[in-house]
Amino acid sequence: MVADHRARYPVLSDRFNLVARRYLGSQSPLPSVFLVGRDGVILAVERGYTKDANAFLRAKVEAALGIKRAAASNGAKKP
């Protein structure tokens, strides 16, 4: 997903679950995602998600950046 979307931010792959165990404990559900702010503070943790990650990641990142999305349209195009 990172390569497909050409992410311009650091992404950590926690191959040995060192970070996950530190923040989630020994029973860390995988996969888990941590959203970390520029100051190093963890802004959000998504534990053991089972659905497509794009939707919740987008929402969390936009919230962290203060981006407000317009409500979804019903598919009708404006003239």
pLDDT in tens, 56-66: 788 888 888 88
Q: Is residue 5 part of a domain?
A: no
CB 60 within 8 Å of CB 46 = yes
Query: Is 24 in a helix, a strand, or coil?
Result: helix
Question: Considering only CA atoms, which of 27, 2, 1, 31 is closest in space to residue 14?
Answer: 31
Query: Whole domain around residue 33: which residue ranges?
Result: 18-65
Q: Is the peptide bond before 79 cis (omega within 30 degrees of 0)?
A: no
User: Residue range 9-24: average pLDDT?
Assistant: 82
pLDDT at residue 78, rounded to an integer = 46
- Give φ, ψ of 45 to 5 degrees: -130, 130
Distance CA 49, CA 60 (A): 14
pTM for the model stands at 0.55
Structurally, the chain folds into a number of domains equal to 1
pLDDT at residue 73, rounded to an integer = 46
